[in-house]
Structure 1
Amino acid sequence: MPLDLQIRAAMRPKSLNREARTVEAILSTGADVDRGGFIERLEISGRAIDLSELPVPVLDTHRRESTRDILGSLTAARVEGGLLIGTLTISKRHEALLDDIEEGTLRCISVGYTINAFRDEADRATGRLVRIATGWTLKEASFVPIPADAGATVRSDTVSTQTSQTAQAPAPVQTTEAAPALTRAQVNTEIRALRQTFGLPEAFANDLIDREATVEQARAAAVEAVRQRPTNSISTHTPAYAATGATPETFARAAGEALYCRANPSVTPSEAAREFMGLSVIELGRTILGRAGVLTTGMSPSAIVERMLTTSDFPAIMGDTVDRSLRAGYQAAPSALKAVARKSTARDFRRKTKLQISEAPTLEKVNEAGEFKHGALHDAKESYAIGTFGKIISVTRQLLVNDDVGAFTDMSAKWGEAAADFEAQQLVDLLEAGSGAGPVMDDGKTLFHTDHGNIAAAAAKINVTSLGEARLMMRKQKSIAGRPINVRPRYLVVPPELEVDAEQVLALIQPTTIEDVNPFGGKLELLVETRLSSATRWYLVSDPAITEGLEYSYLQGEEGPQIETKQGFEVDGMAFKVRLDFGAAFLEHRGWFRNIGQ
């Protein structure tokens, strides 16, 4: 039956230095920890432990949600007498913890680590699987209420053990064989591992090997060398986005950017994303599960994918990656009509009404003792509503296990292109509604109508004469009140079939006679819209910033396609919903002119 809970009362820590805010602690004894399916045991040796990431954070009960959980840092560690011993430095903002450490209230330590190599063997007594970590990296240390390793505590002057009356002392370990003596080659290997672990010069190891020092002598020499090392040689840098310290938002953003940059090598990652650039999807999954406190040692790639799909971090990371790819594709897809339209937003999905107010009435002379006359403002209105459009994209578990990052970034980029193409086609369909006459306006007439004065009297190809007639008609447009407003054309919109003709007409040339002067050279901007269905129709358009015409809108705060993520149920993987809230309408006819061409 399990032992009753044992309580160890510690005296004042002898290693506590209040002025320096430091205390020594036993980080690990390598004690067995039951992981459910197996017993885990850490090898405590200079060869097994990777201390290259020191200094690492000292946390509150392994919490990593915010910087408030960081109590200090673990600045140094060493292997001594089969124990991993470290020096903890408490931060100034948590200086009150020193009182709890001094009185023995705060003493239990637990370490966070990743396992790089292990070997399995069977326990002789129970037959259970024992997994021995023969290579592991120290990532953090935490103050905890009850440690998994009962011997991991703040180092004290003396330690007394009290147990409840029903507690039973554990049986002594039976040893039947003496450990085999190390060969000289094995001792030398251990010495070199000590040198590497503690970052000591190569001469340190060479000297010990030349003197044929024992492993115990080498450990003692390494401890002494670390103690004499200058304080300023200890780095206090902790990566801003290390898995132990990053908030969920910053972690997801940095890791999502790293996945996107892996699939798009031409994109330069930010400093935060560089930390995750070398990670595969599976390695990233181990980091995610480690943040959630899940041990991944011995877990298969498929199992890692299944577990990380249930976390909150991974959907956020994938959502960030897909969003970046989607937007890159969305922005890369060209739309000529967007350049001649005005962008707006809609608060909701109700019809949006846009009023057009005429210019102020003309001022009239007021005679002496005469009265001021009332003027009137004329108005017109157009209205439209935005709609919701979307699709669902699925990323399968097999794709994630295969680490095929490029597949889902390429797929999401194509969805971005599809969203941009959808918007562009909506604008073209609106322009070509009514067999090319355009949509019906609020006055009951189509966009292009004789009464609107914006269609050519006769069909003509693009040339100086037809452009001159079109410009003249736009210049003679009148306001709602019937006054000239002098609309100035800026864009020539054509289908690809008329691109060469348009370029010739708009080309800048050096004339030798007055007759050779090109009045439109450099005056108009050419826009080619490949989606136009007619090979002959062309349009002259004014600047939308000056004269209202075509307008498109997104739902307020959600410009362009939006991404939502969820763990797939119908699909074994993840599902991404692409949603677009979009609408468009012509608010004015005066800024547009059409010629059906020949």
Structure 2
Amino acid sequence: MADTLELLTRRATLTPATADPEGRTVEVVWSTGAPVRRRDMAGQYIERLSLAPEAVDLSRLEGASVLDAHRQTAVRDVLGSVRSAAVDGKRGTALIQFSARPEVEPVWQDVLAGILRHVSVGYSVEDWAETTENGARVLTAIRWTPHEISLVPTPADPGAHIRMETEMTDTTTTPAPPEASTTETRAEANAEIRSIARIAGLDQSWIDGQIDGGADPDAARRAAFEALAKRSAPSIRTEQVRVEMGESQDEPALRARQMGEALYARINPRHELSEPARRYAYSTPVDMAKELLTLRSESTMALSPASLVTRALHTTSDFPIILGDTVGRVLRDAYQAAPSGIRRLGRQTTARDFRAVNKIMLGEAPLLEKLNEHGEIKAGTMAEAREAYKVETWARKIGITRQVLVNDDLGAFADLARRMGQAAAETEARILVTLLETGSGNGPTLSDGKTLFHADHGNKAGTGAAISDTTLSAARLALRTQKGIEDRTIRVTPRNLLVPPALETTAEKWLASIAPATAADVNPFSGSLSLVVEPRLSSATRWYVTADPGEIDGLEFAYLSGAEGPQVESRSGWDVDGVEIRVILDFGAGFIDHRGWFMNAGA
């Protein structure tokens, strides 16, 4: 197993008299080799650092980071960098430069003012020499590597001093061991012991034990490591931990969604309740109001059903959420079930915003040409056309009264929501029909300046006539022979016959499947066209043949992206004594191309 590299630290003093305010540099003495008492498995010993040039590997220190109290968990812990470093046999010195980041500026100003004066070096030892002096074990680092320099609150190397001159002179003598030093006061030591405990997560009893025992910061640091080792697994490693957090089932907002689902299940028995919502299967709106008030620490003592509903409406936003969720579910059911014939003949898409949706139609791809004897391939071009429409907002507001909630009148509640869903579907269908019938039945004006149905477009019967073999054949032929943008025949397959209710029976006859006795009795349109009845068409005689919207551009409708279909919002009533429900529909439609639609005015 590989040896674990232990990173040790020593403290020394900063040299503010050598500071260069413009270059943001200052010289420091980061070690004097002073003896420091430490402890290992064999007991106490005195540690010395050899400052002989051959003993110290400065390759890691030059260019290393200047840290805040040896912290190295984030970039913000880096205060600067070491520009140069040296040892002369008696001390280690360095030139450090501080960062110009705004958060470092207060530290730099304290350095210039002489308030922050102490530094510490972080190092690792590769080789020790063990001796005995006066019965004490002494370990001297004879091969070691400094890794970083940190600003620290108090010094632990009493031989290090503030350099008051820019010239490096030897004015120090080998200091006594730390216990003989008077530079580190008891108050400073106690303050650092508290700092060690805070970083290590140790409690007040541990701090009291260290202070009462007269421990110095180094001894306290070792004791902290021992306490951490006992509290941790034998091998200490760092790893990324993934924490997955789920929803609390006691969250009022989550409870509100569950209540809304339960209320919907009472209206629609076919809905299978989720397990969390099952506990509210038989709860009334009054029961739900009371529970939500309790979750919000609101008193419900001696409150009548009407008062519970009133207070829930005005003191918490969760109660309107329940009703809005229920209305939304019922409304969407009714919206999806509402019949809309013309909607089947269009292509659905989305719009990113309310600006005009521009649709570009490309012409036919150029035909391939035979290569000449030189092998030259000619470039082809594609024509294009553009149509536009935009999404607009349609909205209505309804109210659910407090009386309905107190009476638990879910029939009226559901009926109102259902009608709003049908109204949203009706709004869409009327927009599409109005678009189709604009221009006196000839449709909207396209980018070429002509209406959708126009003789020049080849998609309008010259004379109106009833549905028959002849007129259906003419409509089908007109679509099959449509020309593209570049006046070349394109593929258009008739798929649908759109009629008003007055022509439904007639259309069914011409599309019916029969068993013919002779060839003359064969119905050529049986199975080739699908009947679409649109009751909102204003003309009782006009009918249409259309292509599959998936094959060719034609009618297109769009919803605002992320808001497909009607959207429901709710709040406590202001204009009504209850809850206001707002239904919003962001919807727009337009014709992109005329080639997939044929119109006959009928007779």
Q: Structure 1 length normalisation: TM-score?
A: 0.58
Structure 1 counterpart SS, 2:273: coil
- Superposition map of 1:215-364 within 5 A: 245-309=249-313, 310-364=315-369
Amino acid across the alignment from 1:245 = Q
> Which residue identity lines up with residue 367 of structure 1 in the other structure?
N
CA distance in 2, matches of 1:355, 1:277: 52
Paired residue for 1:433, among 418, 438, 443? Answer: 438
C-alpha distance in structure 1 between counterparts of 2:275 and 2:549, whole Å:
40
**Equivalent residue number for residue 420 of structure 1:** 425
Distance 2:372 2:282 in 1: 84
Query: 1:535 and 1:359 mapped to 2: Cα distance?
Result: 37
Determine if contact 2:252/2:295 at 8 Å carries over to the other structure: no
| Aligned counterparts of 2:304 and 2:288: Cα–Cα separation in 1 | 14
In 2, distance between residues paired with 1:329 and 1:311? 29
Query: In the TM superposition, what whole-angstrom CA distance separates every residue of 1:45-68 from its partner, at most 9, and x where no partner exists?
Result: xxxxxxxxxxxxxxxxxxxxxxxx
Amino acid at match of 1:332: A
CA distance in 2 between partners of 1:320 and 1:415 (Å): 14
- Report sequence identity in percent: 52
Per-residue displacement from partner, 1:439-498 (whole Å, max 9, x unpaired)?
A: 000100000000000011222111122111110110000110111113100000000111
* Mapped partners of 1:346, 1:249: distance in 2: 31
| 8 Å CA contact 2:497, 2:531 repeated in 1 | yes
SS in 2 for 1:356: strand
Deviation at 1:373, TM superposition (A): 2.3
Of the three residues 381, 390, 404, the one matched with 2:409 is: 404
Asked if residue 385 in structure 1 is aligned to residue 390 in structure 2, the reply is yes
Aligned residue for 1:594? 599
1:448 to 2:456 alignment? no
Give the CA deviation at 1:398.
Answer: 1.9
Cα deviation for residue 349 of structure 1 reads 0.5
* Paired residue secondary structure (1:275): helix
Q: Report what 2:225 is aligned to.
A: none
Deviations 1:364-396 (A, max 9, x none): 112111533232110001001111110111112
Equivalent position of 1:202 in the other structure? none
C-alpha RMSD of matched pairs (Å): 1.9
TM-score of the superposed pair, with normalisation by structure 2: 0.58
Q: How does 1:167-246 map to 2 (within 5 A)?
A: 245-246=249-250
Q: CA deviation at 1:361?
A: 0.6
Please give the alpha-carbon distance, in whole angstroms, between the structure 2 residues aligned to 1:245 and 1:254: 10
Cα distance in 2, alignment partners of residues 539 and 464 from structure 1: 14
Whether 2:546 is the aligned partner of 1:544: answer no
Q: Distance in 2 between matches of 1:248 and 1:444?
A: 58
- Give runs of ≥4 in structure 1 deviating > 6 Å: none
Q: Report the AA paired with residue 252 of structure 1.
A: A
2:520 and 2:254 map into 1 onto residues whose CA distance is: 66
User: How many angstroms apart in 1 are the aligned matches of 2:572 and 2:339?
Assistant: 33
- The structure with more radius of gyration: 2
d(CA) in 2 for partners of 1:245, 1:469 = 65
1:578 partner SS: strand
Q: Secondary structure at the match of 2:439?
A: coil
Q: In structure 1, what is the Cα distance between the partners aligned to 2:270 and 2:264?
A: 11
What secondary structure, in the 3-state scheme, does the structure 2 residue paired with 1:585 have? strand
Query: How do 1:481-560 and structure 2 match up within 5 A?
Result: 481-560=486-565
**Is the 8 Å Cα contact of residues 317 and 571 (structure 2) preserved in structure 1?**
no
Q: How does 1:68-147 map to 2 (within 5 A)?
A: none
Match of 1:48 in 2: none
CA distance in 2, matches of 1:272, 1:518: 58
User: Who is 1:124 aligned against?
Assistant: none
**Is residue 510–residue 526 contact of structure 2 (8 Å, CA) maintained in 1?**
yes
C-alpha spacing 1:281/1:362, structure 2 compared with 1 (3 Å): same
Equivalent-residue separation in structure 2 for 1:399 and 1:440 (angstroms): 49
Q: Which position in structure 2 is the counterpart of 1:576?
A: 581
* Residue 266 (structure 1) shift: 4.2
- Aligned-partner SS, 2:280: coil
Letter in 2 for 1:247: E
Q: Does 1:462 align with 2:506?
A: no
| C-alpha distance after superposition, 1:187-228 (max 9, x if no partner) | xxxxxxxxxxxxxxxxxxxxxxxxxxxxxxxxxxxxxxxxxx
Any conservation in 1 of the 2:321–2:571 contact (CA below 8 Å)? no
Counterpart CA distance in 2 for 1:245 and 1:459 is 66
Aligned residues: 359
1:471 match: 476
Tell me the distance in 2 between the aligned counterparts of 1:374 and 1:262: 67
CA shift for structure 1 position 274? 2.2
Q: Unaligned stretches of 5+ in structure 2?
A: 1-202, 204-245
Preserved CA contact (<8 Å) 2:436 2:444: yes
Counterpart of 1:197 in structure 2 is none
